[in-house]
Structure 1
Amino acid sequence: MNGPGLHRRLAQLFDRPEPTIKDWIKAARQRGYLSPAVPGRRAAGPGPLLSHAEDGPRTPSA
């Protein structure tokens, strides 16, 4: 689920307004669940909390 219209598709999937989805994505980045945004790129990778899943569960520090 990536590419153009991702916010719109997620808003429809979760039955939430697009601004709410954008807030969720921003919060996920700030909390370490998604990688930082890279200008000019659409994709996001797992953040530090998800990229070390093989180490066991981690608790956010904030």
Structure 2
Amino acid sequence: MTACLSSMFLAYFFLKFQRSEAESQLKMVHTLRLFLEVVLFAIPYLAVSVWGLWIYSGGRLIL
């Protein structure tokens, strides 16, 4: 009986640790994806927008 309870106790904490490990990896992947979206899309979009405004203003736009 004691062996059964202790193995259930260990299995519970092992599964809890695995779940928390998976959740932290999921958060890391989400953060990495958000960072890549900002770097790959937002910054070039802003750069092209500013460059377009500069061309539209005839090169007189001072930032």
| TM-score, scaled to structure 1 | 0.29
Q: Of Structure 1 and Structure 2, which has the larger fraction of its residues in helix?
A: 2
| TM-score, scaled to structure 2 | 0.29
Larger RCO (CA under 8 A, 6+ residues apart): 1
